[in-house]
Structure 1
Amino acid sequence: MNHLDINQIKAIIPHRHPFLLVDYIEDYEPGEFAVGYKCVSYREDFFAGHFPQEPVMPGVLTVEALAQVGAVAILSLPEHRGKTAYFGGIDKCRFKGKVVPGDKLRLETRIIKRKGPLGVGEAIASVDGNVVVRAELTFMIG
């Protein structure tokens, strides 16, 4: 297994606090897949307004976290080092559950297509084995 801590993640993708949404990578294979985690804390800035009486992580941020894990997979290839992976599209996205403070969000993105600077990742976010988001994420390397 290939592990990455937060500093190693920051060496691969350009995201920084408060928008870096991955705490560590449990395993990855450059150009193939990455599995990471976000430990969701009540101290996250977005909980102040989403929603004050019932804190829920915004679904779009869960999708962004999945994209960041996918970016680790694709940008860890030697030919993509120092580049940025941009969103090209989000398809077949389904929200199946809530992410709340205290959750350990598992983020897995598998690269299923690549052609030149374009690619597609199959992404699944889960909490305690229950899928909360599933999507196909299209990216462009820039």
Structure 2
Amino acid sequence: MDVTADNNAQSKKIDDIDITRIMKMIPHRYPILMIDRVIDVTLGEGATGVKNVTINEPFFQGHFPSRPVMPGVLIIEAMAQTSAVLVVATLGPEAEGKLVYFMTVDEARFRRPVTPGDTIHIHVTKQRQRANVWKFKGEAKVNGVLVAEAIYSAMILDEK
């Protein structure tokens, strides 16, 4: 995890957070861990999560066997997990492993199906933070094309 300072914005940036580090930061595990990497992190502002979608995902057995499509709610979950990594990276090591709960999901839109072989880039931007409640805008793109978007809020709990 390479941290550098941006002299113009006085923001700290992290270039890359791999799956091993993600699993130290958030409590999610297979089969619900929905991101493989987080890139382009600007602490307290935004980040990009990466999800490589494969036919081996357990949800494709039933959604749908004849035309596999990633469920939209799991794309929203990938947005939330990317945001959780951003929150933990921003707050520091004392926040690692804490639970982050959805509070609201608003303005969710699904633009096109996500299928095996797609790589989703999940761009999240913090809109607001008050105490332990954070609000985000998330956009999921495949090959630069918007596939889903939502505004959502979550609360980080003090207990692990």
With normalisation by structure 2, the TM-score equals 0.85
Query: Aligned partners of 2:97, 2:67: CA distance in 1, in Å?
Result: 39
| Deviation, structure 1 residue 29 | 2.2
Matches within 5 A, 1:1-142: 1-76=14-89, 77-78=91-92, 80-142=95-157
Identity %: 40
Larger radius of gyration: 2
Which structure carries more relative contact order (alpha carbon 8 Å, separation 6+)? 1
Equivalent position amino acid for 1:25 in 2: V
Unaligned runs of 5+ in 1: none
- 1:2 match: secondary structure: strand
Q: Deviations over 1:79-114 (max 9, x none)?
A: 533322110010111111110000001111111100
Q: 1: CA distance between counterparts of 2:77 and 2:97?
A: 19
Aligned 8 A contact 1:27 1:35 in 2: yes
- Structure 2 unaligned runs (5+)? 1-13
Give the whole-Å Cα distance in 1 for the aligned partners of 2:23 and 2:127. Answer: 24
In 2, Cα distance between the equivalents of 1:56 and 1:102? 11
Relative to the length of structure 1, the TM-score reads: 0.95
**Alpha-carbon RMSD:** 1.1
Deviates most, 47-56 or 78-87: 78-87
